[in-house]
Structure 1
Amino acid sequence: MTVNQMELQNLRHLIGSHANAEKKLRFYAQQCQDAQIKQMFEQGAQSAVNTRNKLMSFLT
């Protein structure tokens, strides 16, 4: 699959956004005292990682 310039820019933006979301969610999880909310943030962070990895697969 060949990615054109606009698609490449969009992928970079989406990958960066998911990386940023992961960092924020992990930070929020570290601040939580409530175990359920902490788990929710950690699951969200893992979901962002999974999506970022899937998006990165389009670059290879």
Structure 2
Amino acid sequence: MAQLNELELQNLRHMIGGHDTLANKLDSYAQSCTCPQLKQMLQNDAQDARNTKQQLMGFLS
């Protein structure tokens, strides 16, 4: 794999942090949600954000 330059590394870290924040917020929203369908959708979206975060972290190795 090619080496990342400083700007690419900073952008990657920013995207990873953003997906982590998004997953946490969606989990929080899902916990307070009373509609089962909306709760499931929020949980699915949180999991998607965690999966994307893991994929992005793969570029760091």
Q: TM-score range by the shorter chain?
A: over 0.9
The aligned counterpart of 1:43 is 44
The aligned counterpart of 1:34 is 35
Counterparts in 2 of 1:47-58, with a 5 A limit? Answer: 47-58=48-59
Code of the residue aligned with 2:52 in structure 1: it is: T
Q: Distance in 2 between matches of 1:12 and 1:58?
A: 10
Shift of 1:55: 0.2
Where do 4+ consecutive residues of structure 1 move more than 4 Å?
Answer: none
The aligned counterpart of 1:6 is 7
Name structure 1 gaps, 5 residues minimum. none
Q: Percent identity?
A: 52
Name structure 2 gaps, 5 residues minimum. none
Q: Distance in 2 between matches of 1:44 and 1:3?
A: 29
Q: Distance in 2 between matches of 1:32 and 1:10?
A: 32
Report how many aligned residue pairs link the two structures: 60
Q: Distance in 1 between matches of 2:29 and 2:59?
A: 29
Q: Distance in 1 between matches of 2:49 and 2:36?
A: 20
